[in-house]
Amino acid sequence: MQRPSRPAAPVPPVEPPTQLDPVLGSASQGMGSRPVNAKSPPNPILGRPLPPGVAVAPPQVPVPVPDPVAPPRMPPPTPAPAAAAPPFAPPARPTAAGRIPVAPATPAGLTLRQLVQEAYDKGYSDIHLGVGEVPRFRDRGQMLLTNYPVTTTEMFYGWLRESLPESQIRQFEECLELDTAIQYEGLVRCRVNCFVSLLGPAMVMRLIPLKILTLEQLRAPEVLKRIAEEHKGLVLVTGPTGSGKSTTLAAMVDYINSNFPKHIISIEDPIEFVHQSKKSMVRQREVGIHTLEFANALKASLREDPDIILIGEMRDRETVDIALKAGQTGHLVFGTLHTNSAVRTIERLLGIYKPEEQEPMRLQLAETLVAIIAQTLVRTTDGKRAAAHEIMRNTDAIRDYIKRGAVDEIEELIADGSYEGMCTMNQSLFRLYQEGRITEEVCLEAAPRRNEMAQWLRGRI
């Protein structure tokens, strides 16, 4: 008996490609199979570059085919979205590109104006701020620690945004240094220097009063008025940093401004004391804002019909050359140097030039120099500070000493020139001690010739 024939089993259709060959970038049908369509364009897998002119193929999505026997496959669960990464906290130090990262927001709490107000109310001269450090004040030369929290990067940049425009903040980030000035109307003006240290960005603020003190209020020697009344020549106010040079110079300029019809031009970096035109016309220029180069502004000032030129600092040979030229052509030039005596000032100016050039420059300096005022600040018994001066006027005898190169012997002439208003630093300090304004310890500590001062204090001379 013959069984009935069974129907032929249906031939399953050929499944389409289910994965991409990661090496060839084409579809495959199974293990060990070769590409079906060799002409399909390649895909950029694993970051391999494509040949020029070849288009990128769209990704091939596998098409599922139902299995008549196996149960349908459930789609894999959709993975939950990854949690957002925490915001990046910028480091306090400069990055590899040399830029300082800026904090994203301005912090609440202590403001820069509050620090300035506190320093002004208590008579402090400087404010020191920096990332990783506690804010500090300088009181009569001594550094004082505060109880404020340690400064963070966010706090520091909040203070910068509070006081500086964005252009100057970008300049600080690019150059890692910034020298500028800010003014709090009705309060005080501050000279600001921003820099970067090992712990991060920092700044120092020097408080400058809005009101310029007169020579009488400073209790300055009367001879400074006679020096300010000169018509031409070079006047130098010297001393170390923080010795009050700018205050003395501002008082002398204010004396001229209040009593004589002159044209005064100042070139500073930055502007510290702000003068209002009174009897004189005062024009102040700041390097980086009103002029691009210090030397260019100084050269141009000679063609701007000035009577008096104020130079912030005798920086280099070019500045000294122009200052001497201006003094020789009928202008009164004021400048500053970081030297501590009249003799050292003359040696510093001549040392700028080569040995073969010093002889003619010595002659020019002898004919142009009017006076040198070297000063320092000392703590007084009433809780303030006073200036002690060494004053040298260029008399005929001193001019002859400079021409002959006998600079070391000038100090003896200064000590004996009281009738010309001259005095040495030791004489000025001893006078303050006799007036009861400074103690014996302060007098001896500030004296450049301590053995001489010790003899005076013991009453031997």
Residue with the larger pLDDT of the pair 78 and 113: 113
Q: Which CATH number fits domain 112-208: 3.30.450.90, 3.30.70.960, 1.50.10.10, 3.40.50.720?
A: 3.30.450.90
Helical ranges in 273-409 per DSSP H: 294-301, 317-328, 342-351, 358-368, 396-404
**Residue 56 pLDDT grade (very low, low, confident, very high; cuts 50, 70, 90):** very low
pLDDT of residue 269: 86
Residue 32 pLDDT greater than 90, yes or no: no
Q: Over the stretch 251-280, which tens digit does the pLDDT of each residue have?
A: 999 999 999 999 999 998 888 899 999 999
Residue 393's H or E segment, with its range, is strand 385-393
In the chain, the amino acid numbered 430 is F
**Residue 316 pLDDT grade (very low, low, confident, very high; cuts 50, 70, 90):** confident
What would you report as the CA-atom Rg of the chain, rounded to the nearest whole angstrom? 38
Write down the residue that tokens 């008082």 correspond to. Answer: 251
Q: Over the stretch 390-445, which tens digit does the pLDDT of each residue have?
A: 999 999 999 999 999 899 899 999 999 999 999 999 999 999 999 999 999 999 99
Residue 64 pLDDT greater than 90, yes or no: no
Residue 40 pLDDT greater than 60, yes or no: no
**Residue 295 pLDDT grade (very low, low, confident, very high; cuts 50, 70, 90):** confident
Mean pLDDT over 450-458 rounds to: 91
pLDDT of residue 151: 95
Q: Over the stretch 88-122, which tens digit does the pLDDT of each residue have?
A: 333 333 333 334 444 333 344 799 999 999 999 99
Cα–Cα nearest to 115, from 98, 131, 138, 85: 138
Q: Tell me how far apart the alpha carbons of residues 179 and 191 are, in angstroms, rounded to a whole number.
A: 8
**Residue 74 pLDDT grade (very low, low, confident, very high; cuts 50, 70, 90):** low
Mean pLDDT over 28-37 rounds to: 42
Dihedral sign, Cα of residue 185, residue 257, residue 310, residue 377: negative
β-strands 369-379, 332-337: how paired? unpaired
Q: Tell me how far apart the alpha carbons of residues 91 and 44 are, in angstroms, rounded to a whole number.
A: 37
Task: Please report, for the chain, the start and end positions of each structural domain, with discontinuous segments joined by +.
Answer: 112-208, 223-423
- DSSP assignment of 241-264 equals TTSSHHHHHHHHHHHHHHHS--EE
Dihedral sign, Cα of residue 267, residue 269, residue 272, residue 276: positive
Q: Are the C-beta atoms of residues 242 and 124 closer than 8 Å to each other?
A: no
Q: What are the DSSP E strand ranges found in 71-186?
A: 126-130, 136-139, 142-145, 177-184
Residue with the larger pLDDT of the pair 5 and 142: 142
Mean pLDDT, rounded, of the chain: 81
| Among 199-203, 265-269, 286-290, the least confident range | 286-290
* DSSP secondary structure code for residue 277 in this structure: P
Topology annotation, domain 223-423: Rossmann fold (3.40.50)
Residue with the larger pLDDT of the pair 170 and 12: 170
pLDDT of residue 289: 85
| Among 69-73, 233-237, 410-414, the least confident range | 69-73
Residue 203 pLDDT greater than 90, yes or no: yes
The counts of H helices and E strands in the chain are 14, 15
Mean pLDDT over 369-390 rounds to: 93
Residue 245 pLDDT greater than 50, yes or no: yes
pLDDT of residue 255: 97
pLDDT of residue 10: 52
Mean pLDDT over 219-245 rounds to: 93
| Cut 0.75: pTM above it | no
Residue 371 pLDDT greater than 50, yes or no: yes
pLDDT of residue 35: 43
pLDDT of residue 217: 94
